Amino acid sequence: MNGKKIIALIALIIIIDQAIKFYIKLNYFIGEEHLMLGTWARLHFVENEGMAWGLKFGGDFGKIALTLFRLLAVIWGAFLIRGFIAKKYHNGFIICAALIFAGAVGNLIDSLFYGMIFEQSVSYTTQVAVFMPKAGGYAPFLHGKVVDMFYFPIIQNGHFPSWFPIWGGEEFEFFRPVFNFADASISVGVITLFIFQNKFFGKENDENLEKEQIEAPVSNPE
C-alpha cells in the first residue's frame, strides 16, 4: 500500500470529523436534537469529558492524564503504521490501522485544543458557542471536551425479561451511546480487523509476501 494514499485517507477522515464537529459546536446547543431518518437516526449534541461511553476518572488530573495518554498513543501509532507500510503488510490491515489512527487523532484534537478555541456550550438554550471568543475559551490546553453527535436509538422503551440476570425487568435502549465520526472510524477499523483477521494474517498473506520477495529485482554488484 502506497504511503501517500494512506496519508490521504487519514487526512480525509480527520477533515470530515473536524468539519462535522465544528458545524455542531457552532450551530447546536447542548442537548439539541434533530431527526435524520425517522426517529431512530438523530443528531444529538453532547460533549464527552472523558473516555468512551462518557466515563471519567481522577477529576482534573485524570483528564490531563487521559489526554496525554491519547497523545502518546497517536505518536506510537504513527510509527506503527509507517512500519506496516514498509514491511508490506496486507493492504486491508493497513487501511484498518489507518482508520483507527485517524479516529484517535480526530478525538485527540478535541481534547487538546477545543477548550482553547471555543466558547462554552450551554444546555437547552438558543445560545451556541463562538469560535475564538474574545474572552478566551472555556478550558486550558489538554482540557477540551470531545464533541459527539450521532445517536441511533433503534430500540426504545424495551424491557429485559424478568428472568434476565441483574437487569431483569428493567428498561433498556439500543443503541444508547452518542458518538462522532472519529468513533465510527475507529469502530469500523476494529470490527473489520476482527472479521478478516484470518485473511490479513493467514497463510495466503504470508505466501504473497514471499512471492513479492522472490520476484523483487536483485542488484548484482560489479
pLDDT, tens digit (0-9, with 9 covering 90-100), for 174-186: 788 899 999 999 9
C-alpha distances in Å from residue 209, one per residue of 136, 147, 194, 206: 54, 41, 21, 5
Lowest mean pLDDT among 147-156, 168-177, 211-220: 211-220
How far is 187 from 221, CA to CA, in rounded Å? 49
How far is 26 from 16, CA to CA, in rounded Å? 16
Lowest mean pLDDT among 36-45, 95-104, 130-139, 180-189: 36-45
- Which is more confidently placed, 208 or 163? 163
Q: Which residues are identified as catalytic?
A: 148, 183
C-alpha distances in Å from residue 114, one per residue of 65, 101, 136, 173, 188: 17, 19, 11, 30, 25
Does the structure show a pLDDT above 70 at 205? no
Q: What is the CA radius of gyration of the chain?
A: 22
Does the structure show a pLDDT above 80 at 58? no
In the 8-state DSSP scheme, what is residue 60?
A: H
> 46: part of which helix (H) or strand (E)?
strand 41-48
Task: Render pLDDT for 105-139 as a digit per residue (tens, 0 to 9).
Answer: 999 999 999 999 999 998 877 789 999 999 999 99
Q: How confident is the model at residue 150 (pLDDT cuts 50, 70, 90)?
A: very high
